[in-house]
Structure 1
Amino acid sequence: MASGGPEIEQLIQLLARLPGLGPRSARRAVLHLIKKKDQLMIPLSAALDRAVLAVRSCEVCGNVDTQSPCSICADPRRGDAGMLIVVEDVADLWALERAGVGAVRYHVLGGVLSPLDGVGPDDLSIDMLIRRAPDYREIVLAVNATVEGQTTAHYITDRLVGSGAKVTRLAHGVPVGGELDYLDEGTLSQALKARTEI
């Protein structure tokens, strides 16, 4: 238990719930915020208050933005892209945007199928994806290469039969800059199966 009062302890407990922050990291973050109260804590609190009121989920793709449809869906330059990239969550969408994949559209599933965790097709935005599919030439399943991700990809592929869209997935294998002796057997096996001509 931290000394300093219940407000500080509550702040530590709330920050510790964030991904990548445990109790020790949260405690250090809170102490830093307290030391920089005027420069950091007060502006952060104000920004959080504004975000609570302004941030919403896009009614089209599931991205988070301050408008709906989001700025990606509202961008007229993406209108004739013909490619819809399906991702598990918003973090994946943002990663692809940072990578500059081009003038594409997205669809956020909101997770992956996981019967052990009680996540079924009705818990994800798969039905909305099926409704959007006929508007695109290609649907890229950019889900993680986990058992749950691949199960989700197979389920979606089966549901997209007859949509008229070509269904593809991201390539898996050796990352750029990767060294073979540091890679796991599954990655090496997949890279060999998906080899291309030079």
Structure 2
Amino acid sequence: MATPVLPRSVQRLIDEFARLPGIGPKSASRLTFYLLRATDNQALDLSVALQELKERTRLCSVCFNITEDDPCPICEDEARDAHLVCVVEEPLDVLAIERSRAYGGRYHVLHGAISPVEGIGPEDLRVTELVQRVAQGQFTEIILATNPTLEGESTALYLQRRLAEYGVRMTRLARGLPVGGDLEYTDEITLGRALEGRQEV
């Protein structure tokens, strides 16, 4: 029987890091050995941060974004346009839109996208809650800001059909060419959408 190369506690941390998305065995090993060399305070700070993450965070009961306070600060902000709601797939999408400083309405976080391949249907997302919010009649526009992927497009199409009966204006984020990009390297779908969405100059 071979002798274990690493202490069990070290191997366990490597295994736990490797379970995280985007982190393979090599990255997991590097992170673990970094923490072994780090000061006790740095390693313990990470431990406390993880514990607080699980103990303090929850989903906002209104928009389902991640928050420590319920309702979240965005839902509580009376300066934001309560008649405008932006539907996104994940909490990270809220951060991306907020960084743009171009949006001042409310949000609804679905926590995923419809993906039959992965066994994710509308019932696995926060769709029912969105329909309930729209049915209350407070929104004049719904921005469907799902990702420009097959799953994101399917989710947006499903939401369009599901919400059509309420007569609320529905819009999608514009699609087009990235700033600084070259036409010759642009895929045909993006280029086609950029042509369809052209504007007066």
TM-score normalized with structure 1 length? 0.93
Q: CA deviation at 1:3?
A: 3.6
1:195 is matched with 198
Structure 1 unaligned regions, length at least 5: none
Q: For residues 136 and 187 of structure 1, what CA distance do their matches in structure 2 show?
A: 30
- Aligned to 2:165, the other structure's residue is in SS state coil
Does the aligned pair in 1 maintain the 2:84–2:106 contact within 8 Å?
Answer: yes
Q: CA deviation at 1:162?
A: 2.7
TM-score normalized with structure 2 length? 0.91
2:60 is matched with 58
2:88 is matched with 87
Structure 2 residue aligned with 1:69, among 57, 68, 71?
Answer: 71
1:18 is matched with 20
Letter in 1 for 2:182: E
Does the aligned pair in 2 maintain the 1:81–1:103 contact within 8 Å?
Answer: no
Percent identity for Structure 1 against Structure 2? 44
Does the aligned pair in 2 maintain the 1:64–1:90 contact within 8 Å?
Answer: yes
- Equivalenced residue count is 196
Does the aligned pair in 2 maintain the 1:93–1:106 contact within 8 Å?
Answer: yes
Aligned Cα root-mean-square deviation (Å): 1.5
Does the aligned pair in 1 maintain the 2:58–2:68 contact within 8 Å?
Answer: yes
1:108 matched to 2:109: yes
Q: CA deviation at 1:101?
A: 2.7
Aligned 1:176-187 pairs, distance under 5 A: 176-187=179-190
Does the aligned pair in 2 maintain the 1:172–1:194 contact within 8 Å?
Answer: yes
Does the aligned pair in 2 maintain the 1:139–1:167 contact within 8 Å?
Answer: yes
Structure 2 residue aligned with 1:161, among 137, 161, 164?
Answer: 164
Q: CA deviation at 1:36?
A: 0.9
- Aligned to 1:178, the other structure's residue is in SS state coil
Q: CA deviation at 1:130?
A: 1.1
